[in-house]
Structure 1
Amino acid sequence: MVLEKHRPGRMEKSSAAVAGSESELQIKQRKRRRLQFAVLALALLCTTTLGWAVSLFQTGRATGLIDTTASVALTPLGSTIRENFPIVLYAVAILILLTNLRSLKGRAMRGFVPALLGVLLLYVASATATQNITSTLTFLTLIALIALTVWSIGLEVGDLVVLGRIGFAIAVVSLIMAATTDKAWSDEGEMTKGLLTDATLAGFFPQMNPLGMSMAITLPFVFMFKRRWVRVAGFAAVALTLLMASSRTAIIAAAIGLAVGIVLRITRRRSRVFLGYVAVILILTVSVVVPVTAGSGAFTGRGDIWHASLSLIPDKPIWGYGPSAYMHGGAVSNILGVAHWHGHNMWITFMVIGGVVGLVALALFWFPALHTSLLIAREGNLVPATALMTTLALGIAEVQIRPSEFDGVAWVSWVSLFAIAMLVRKPREATQEG
């Protein structure tokens, strides 16, 4: 399936024509943007995953680990990498920024300013709720740096193909691991919930959910591949990996995103912005209704987490309970008797941790990206909107964008959100893939 409203082959022909008319300078700039974006995204992936992957290959997977949902125990080497790799990430981001300094003059800031305001609001909420904000300040500095670096690159719509390529590569590596080593599989005995196999595929991730969510978010971007056979292969590999990971929320979110993409494709372009916002409202409604109406123990224990979280909101509705709410000794954890690290719903988690201020910050992160993606959909390219609908739907029962921790699927959720919000839009190129 191609998420562009063209007859088959037209997109490829038009891209080839544009590529042929590009000057050497334009080609050089395109390659530079995509290289910088790829390096940044891979550095983010390594920040969240490399320490776990090294530990996995050192000791394999384990079961029944305490204080973690992962099926991998961090080794000394893995822990060292996890603690220190952010230094590499900072160096990469600063190098990209320095390289792009000369090109920043006149750059539109419509997506960048809201992102910084969102970071500032999260800081104010955290500082008001708790005195110990060192870890939160480190996290928010990283988010601000990601936003600044993405903005400095000056990405165009076609450059988002980089996320499809990385997702495809992760899928291929995961499938190769699945065929060659037991370390790729997570098996929790009776708790295992594999759809296609007895165990669930986790690849080089600490558990299957980050793999599944990574596949769901990157799946739409494989439709930007130029050659049809590569698109088909990319979709097949990413979709198969998603199913083998057996992350129910990720599978449902991917289905919702693709369904919205199909609906937008068969409608008139002038109606796409309106219908896109209708889809957003429906997804947000489900995100609220499901936790409020779920029974205790529903959705593999999420119901209890939701009820505990919702019961706390009236007491601190403005600033929330701070970043430790779901950790040991936190407000939610004290009710449940165990730490759950987040609220398994993006909106509830932001509300509990940051209150109404946190929700405003979340809206500042999301709205510019959603609006830009729908404007691009009206011009012909449905991939950004489909990807964001998928990411938004993940928030129904997961926290793909967390207000205080950078781990799991954060490597792609944050960078894709900022990349789409800060796209440099050129009307004549809006319907062309990369």
Structure 2
Amino acid sequence: MTAAVERFRELLRIPTVSHTDESAVDWSRFDEFRAAIERLYPAMHERLGFDVVDGHSLLYRWPGSVPGEPLVLMAHIDVVPVVDDEWRHPPFAAEIVGDGPDAAIHARGAIDDKGSLVAILEAVDALVTGDFTPERDVYLAFGHNEETAGGGAQAIAALLAERGIRPALVLDEGGAVVEGAIPGVAVPTAMVGVAERGVMTLVMSAHEGGGHASTPSAFPATARLARAIHRLHRHPFPVRLSPPVRAMLATVAPRAPQPLRTVFQSLRLTGPLVARVLARLGPETNAIVRTTAVATELSGAPGENVLATTARAAVNIRLLTGDSIAGAVEHVRRIIADPAVQLEVRHASEPSPVSPWKGEAWRRLATAVTTSLGADVVTTPYLQLGASDSRWFTTVSEHVYRFTPFHLTRSERDALHAHDERIRVDVWLRGIEFYRALIASS
């Protein structure tokens, strides 16, 4: 294996696991990670200065020949926790399984998001070693708690704003190169997120006097809450095509067979029907055409023979572009139709602004895709389904995009945040070339 792959494996073996309760985080692992990248990439660290932000996030600056309008490449250091016995291979051993084009590194963070982070480091280090100087400044922004609070990236964005820095292009993790994700489209597509959905947690709670479970009331708090959850499940948010999804379908329309080509090219007429069909095709396509809401955490009585005085459900809501926090609360209130069920917004952020899919920044991305990942790959706008650290950077740039430059199968995408996360070696090495091409255009 190449030296780059061995460096990648070494960094994957450092368990930089984040937790919602930050008192449970082993911060020494994050210090170990920072020390490791300084040791593994000496040329880069001789050329680029860096700041430690918010305790453990990193912001590097590579000075260009001309000041202003820099490129910002983002990734995050932290990974989600693991359940060891679910994995076929130890999650922090970074074992290589298979041979030839099937050889894959199995490790937590292989894709999310050390795959991008280390590919960026490799690209920068190689260019520095070759005595390359970008025309404009290049910043590397590595947050330390994207999987939980995102405070590190938020602090980096605030620091850039304080210094008066307005990036011409910000790129974070996001959609990948995929095949078959868009119904009827067989060509590989680079799904570049031009916006991401908002995220909020809405807590529903029902109350009663409590007592012994042997003498339950006619309508206990748990039953009232269960009815509210069921009503919300039975009456989802309405479907529609947001501007990024319309642009995605219009972009791939020439590559779609008939009659889909005509359908995608006539969305003014066919849009409502297309939205309804996409909602029924699966979880991913459903999520791009509506705000989604699902009950996740449930709590009730402290014992099995005790009536719950308070029954609670945390509802995770992902807001479609054009929807709002206030509108989502009103939708839930109307659907559950029970004033005895209280609603509380625990935390929330609105959907991000939409970045343009035309202009210089977009052309730079599309050119880097075709030159490094294949001339047959179609770069298309995409609505990011999950939240990323990039949402904090929309205050300092109008050109914020979300793309992970790896060609991923459906099973590889399904392994994100699950067991057996992995990335094929050849796929990861091509990702390095994408970052090199993008930086070279700076």
TM-score, scaled relative to structure 2? 0.30
Q: Greater helix share, 1 or 2?
A: 1
Higher radius of gyration, 1 or 2: 2
